[in-house]
Structure 1
Amino acid sequence: MPQQVVIIGGVALGPKAACRFKRLQPESNVIMLDRSPRISYGGCGIPYYVSGEVSDITGLQSTAFHMVRDPEFFRDIKDVDARSETEVVAIDRTAKTVTARHLPTGRQDVIPYDKLVMATGSSPRKLPIAGIDLPGVHTVDSLEAAEAIKKSVAAGGVGSVAIIGSGFIGLEMAVAFADMWGLDVTVIELFDQILPGVTGPTLSAMARKHMEDKGVAFRLGEQVKAIEGEGKVERVVTDKGEVEAELVILSVGVVPNSGLAKAAGLDVSPRGGVLVDEFMRTSDPDIYAGGDCVEVKNLVTGQPMYLPLGSMANRQGRVIGDNLAGGASRFEGVVGSWCVKLFDLAAAGTGLTQAQAERAGFDAVTTHITAIDRAHFYPEHELMSLELVAERGTRRVLGLQGLCAMGDELIGKVNTVAAMLPHKPTVADVSNVEVAYSPPFASAMDILNTVANAADNILSGQNKGISVTEFATIWADAGSDAHIIDCRENPQGGPLVEKHPGRWHNIPQGQLRGRLNEVPKDKPVVLMCNTGARSYEALVTLADAGFQNVVSVEGGMAAVKAAGVDV
């Protein structure tokens, strides 16, 4: 039986739900309403438009066959009545109508529905400070904002940029300004690391060091107090100083647009997300919701979470489209997968970090390795850093995060674990997971298997590792009595012995059994090699010889250098 479906929101989920439903019920009528002038675009591509990698703004609104997804496209190609610049101001659940206002004219229409879909998205979080409305202060939330940002930079009046927030969009915008435009870029972050909440401190330090090497400055652990300027932005004031800037990007997260749902009496969580079941139904069975305006289930913790990602919105849109047509498709939840490109480095992850795991009540441990991402004898290879988070006792894998110059290679590892996480894999499962092998693509013992093997050694007590962050603390303490042994060969370790006499010692791993008398038993011993493999072998040797206060630096000198620890 034909239906009338009204969809509020036309960026990601709305168009996907509309088109899927129309394919299943071509005889039904779909009206899609959005308050913006342009609809159905890839907002995640905005930094790449600003950088110039996407040359034309219509590229973010076009199909793969170069048709612009405007209202005419939806009318003629998809048989969907798409109305831009039209804002829904009220929902009457009893009468099953929405009241929509055409913004250019102010005309209001009352539109009946059989089923309603809320795809209202999110809005940038606003800081409660003076100056956020000054000319030159931007958020990155629409194609119009993207055009304004690029226009101001291209005009040549901007030499310095301050970015408030070091999440995905903030860092992508930093790359765009520094790489394409050569601007002086400073990122200001409230937390003491970049990518807070999605990476641990070691990977964060590595990513920050890479961006600093490319010219981006960071002010970490600083709270923004105000944005100042005479008629336009000139500086950002923090609790620790000032940052001169002719352009400011606010990138401190988003909040779900749930006001319309709340006003209609739908259930909304304390943090503001619309509550839905696995069929994407709200508390009203005739109203569905998805995308940035809803909360979803975290399949690792079992708890609700907020995950505003276009990829998730598209998958949910298909589920909603099925169910509008009488189907029973489910969206079970998410594990929280992500990736971001930072100049020549890719960062990616899935599941929980150690900090997230501990907040969720897990007794978690993180294992870090930095190793070659494919066969060592193959001429083209890169170092990859992976961190596997697992629960002690059960050995359940809770998450994986990593960095590598070969982004596709890294994302393959992350996606493998992401597919496993809903099924509560153990360290042994990842240790033995089958992956495709050929020297140009992987090692015979894949790095994903290796990080799980390293985690197994730590969980069983066979290896006692410390992170680069922990090593940095030891190294910064000039009064530390830690005895550092470089397990590499003399051409690598010898120069550091000369540079740091009395602090740095060199005993190649292959010589250790014959030189045990040089290792003190009354001091903590810290073992170092290039990636952590030889220092682990050295730890086994020392443990067998009765040494107890011994640790190995995970990731070795490769990780130490990447994190910017000066030795």
Structure 2
Amino acid sequence: MKVVIIGAVAAGPKAASRLKRLVPDADITLVDQDELISYGGCGIPYFVGGDVSDEKELRSTSFHMVRDPYFFQEAKGVTTRIKTRAVSIDRKERLVHVEDVITGEKDALSYDKLVLATGSRPNILPIPGRDLKGVYAISDLHKAVAIKNDLAAGRVRSAVIIGGGAIGIEMAEGLADLWGVDTTIVEFMPQILPRIIGPDMAAMVQEHLKERGVKVHTQEAAKEFVGGGDGRVERVVTNRREIAADLVVMAAGVRPRSELARDAGLLVSPQGAIIVNQHMQTSDPDIYAAGDCVEINHLVTGRKFFAPLGSLANRQGRIVADNLAGIPSVFPGCVGSFIMKVFDVCVGSTGISLETALSEGFDAVEAKCVQSDRAHFFPTQALLFLNMVVDKRSRRVLGLQGLGKMGDGLLARINAACGLIERRASVDDFSTLELAYAPPFSTAVDVLNAVSNVADNLVSDRLKTVSIQDFMAWMEGRTDHPDWMALDLRHPKEAALLAERFPGRWIAMSYDKVRGDYQALPRGKTFILICNAGTRSYETQCFLRSVGIDSLVLPWGLNGIARLGAKWLI
């Protein structure tokens, strides 16, 4: 069997190596237009930021062999042609026409089976000045090396990142943390990490970036990159301001490389991704595709979508190899799991956000819970904030987002939720989910169980909440709700300061006094119940409802408000 694989970064090498193990006598050729192959592209921000000291580490195995043509030929038995561009595919003759990118010499490779792993390319914004020195889009390892060389040469004092997605934020952290660069993120959408996490959690991430010296401007668009006499960028002009910049990184997303497939007559989606079935076959059964160039099924929405992740590319590459070897295998799709580091915290999600759920027609609500990631009495405990998105009618869990201290605590909950969400689990499945327990690792009622219990109360109409955004607007005087009054259930010493600061709006009555003293509460008010996390507030709400008093619980309590940078709380 003669197999040609176009693309040698993630899916391609995985398919080649797996297939060679399954069919040792297969004749496999990897083709890539670059000289640097089989590297961890998701590690580029950490190379720029110094966590990874040498770019070779991104191209090396765990046993420190560089994945280059020699490695694939001698260790894997796979022929590799670098600096070779695939120009066209002749499906009738089963030929891939290629050319040497240095000499222009042309050749043709015959195949029995063909694999397209052509990946994605960054979106280059059509902005004047995009060709100036110091303006980059992270398209490959070469650009990362160039950025790091600029930094090491002392040419960068200030930087602007265009795009507040994962790559943009990771790049911003690397520039500000290791290199001490004055860094600004410009994001066109109303929040960073749009459609991945909710606005409240995004505001927490933004506040943490601000604390670490990274400025963030949302709902703002770059209009022009302005250079100096040496042809190097000096500033970025947006629709609101001018920002000094010796370095600009365009991190405005990526799009699939599908031109080769389209020109060969293969089916490509309106969004530009190669259409494949669950066996990763294209519309030509002898041609497979995998990685960032394909569209896949979203297991929550049921729609096709584009998910450029190295983890998925490797899984798909294995599926391709299995099918080529005669082992029927399918890639059913995914729910879009994600996690990232942001200085001292991490943020992650799986499934869909509330915004996406509503746009997809779900009757969705969002339950919020904050709780210690391990026993509250354990010295290393830290708060973990979770949002659970649930369809009210079916009680199906649609998504989970979280933010917590940098570590593995959030990752464990996201991964557990991912496995359940892709199987269409309900709130009740999450509530009764068995999780390993010991005080150094979790609480007896884990935060993942706890947020599902909050969701159960919410969809069952036992819990009534106020949105954090509405509460913040009220406290900051941007909206007026004359019938609202904050009822602070914390210890009197904790509550006294805010009660004195906001007379007539904020009153203190500790949690243990409500049952005995509730008749002293002013009549005709809707009480916004305040505690640190929301647990005492919900229990108080249950009691107040029984005596005919209206109330709303503030989700996440003051633990959440404190992380939003509320000036009135200080």
Aligned to 1:488: 490
Aligned to 2:504: 502
Which residues in structure 2 correspond to 1:171-182 (within 5 Å)?
A: 171-182=169-180
Conserved 8 A contact 1:433-1:449 = yes
The AA in structure 2 aligned to 1:554 is P
Aligned to 2:559: 558
Conserved 8 A contact 1:382-1:406 = no
Conserved 8 A contact 1:346-1:404 = yes
CA distance in 2, matches of 1:472, 1:414: 28
- The Cα RMSD (Å) is 1.0
Aligned to 1:389: 389
Aligned to 2:225: 227
Aligned to 1:239: 239
Residue identity over aligned pairs, in percent, reads 46
CA distance in 2, matches of 1:197, 1:33: 36
Deviation at 1:469, TM superposition (A): 2.3
- Equivalent of 2:88, from 87, 90, 108? 90
Which residues in structure 2 correspond to 1:152-231 (within 5 Å)?
A: 152-230=150-228, 231=231
The AA in structure 2 aligned to 1:330 is V
Which residues in structure 2 correspond to 1:53-132 (within 5 Å)?
A: 53-132=51-130
Conserved 8 A contact 1:368-1:467 = no
Deviations 1:203-261 (A, max 9, x none): 10111111111110011110111111121111111111111111000000000000110
Conserved 8 A contact 2:226-2:235 = yes
Deviations 1:115-162 (A, max 9, x none): 000000000011121111110001112111111000001111211000
Residue ranges of structure 2 left out of the alignment (5+ in a row): none
Q: TM-score, normalised on structure 1?
A: 0.98
Conserved 8 A contact 1:258-1:293 = yes
Deviation at 1:555, TM superposition (A): 0.5
Aligned to 2:141: 143
Deviations 1:258-312 (A, max 9, x none): 0110000000000001000000000000000010000000011111011000000
Conserved 8 A contact 2:397-2:421 = yes
After superposing the two structures, state which structure 1 stretch, 537-546 or 94-103, moved more.
537-546
The AA in structure 2 aligned to 1:389 is V
The AA in structure 1 aligned to 2:308 is P
Deviation at 1:51, TM superposition (A): 1.1
1:289 aligns with 2:289: yes
Conserved 8 A contact 2:276-2:296 = yes
Which residues in structure 2 correspond to 1:238-387 (within 5 Å)?
A: 238-387=238-387
Aligned to 2:514: 512
Conserved 8 A contact 2:138-2:249 = yes
Deviation at 1:21, TM superposition (A): 0.5
Find runs of 4+ consecutive structure 1 residues off by over 6 angstroms: none
Conserved 8 A contact 2:489-2:536 = yes
Aligned to 1:4: 2
The AA in structure 2 aligned to 1:558 is N
Tell me the secondary structure at the aligned position of residue 17 of structure 1: helix
Conserved 8 A contact 1:202-1:467 = no
Aligned to 1:544: 546
Deviation at 1:76, TM superposition (A): 0.6
CA distance in 2, matches of 1:114, 1:149: 41
Aligned to 1:408: 408
CA distance in 2, matches of 1:473, 1:365: 21
Tell me the secondary structure at the aligned position of residue 285 of structure 1: coil
Tell me the secondary structure at the aligned position of residue 234 of structure 1: strand
Conserved 8 A contact 1:483-1:524 = yes
Deviation at 1:517, TM superposition (A): 3.0
Deviation at 1:406, TM superposition (A): 4.1
Tell me the secondary structure at the aligned position of residue 454 of structure 1: helix
Deviation at 1:501, TM superposition (A): 2.2
After superposing the two structures, state which structure 1 stretch, 522-531 or 15-24, moved more.
522-531
Conserved 8 A contact 2:8-2:37 = yes
CA distance in 2, matches of 1:97, 1:238: 48
Deviation at 1:518, TM superposition (A): 3.5
CA distance in 2, matches of 1:428, 1:61: 44
Deviations 1:379-399 (A, max 9, x none): 220000000000012110000
The AA in structure 2 aligned to 1:30 is I
Deviations 1:64-122 (A, max 9, x none): 00000001110111010111110000000011100011111111101100000000000
Residue ranges of structure 1 left out of the alignment (5+ in a row): none
CA distance in 1, matches of 2:469, 2:381: 26
Conserved 8 A contact 2:526-2:549 = no
CA distance in 2, matches of 1:160, 1:468: 34
Deviation at 1:432, TM superposition (A): 0.6
After superposing the two structures, state which structure 1 stretch, 471-480 or 449-458, moved more.
471-480
Deviation at 1:495, TM superposition (A): 1.1
The AA in structure 2 aligned to 1:266 is L
CA distance in 1, matches of 2:500, 2:522: 20
Deviation at 1:349, TM superposition (A): 0.7
- Equivalent of 2:39, from 33, 38, 41? 41
Deviation at 1:503, TM superposition (A): 2.1
Conserved 8 A contact 1:509-1:537 = no
Aligned to 2:442: 442
Deviation at 1:524, TM superposition (A): 2.6
How many pairs does the alignment contain? 564
The AA in structure 2 aligned to 1:541 is F
Aligned to 1:398: 398
Which residues in structure 2 correspond to 1:450-469 (within 5 Å)?
A: 450-469=450-469
Deviation at 1:514, TM superposition (A): 2.3
The AA in structure 1 aligned to 2:170 is E
CA distance in 2, matches of 1:264, 1:518: 78
- Equivalent of 1:532, from 531, 534, 547? 534
CA distance in 2, matches of 1:474, 1:407: 35
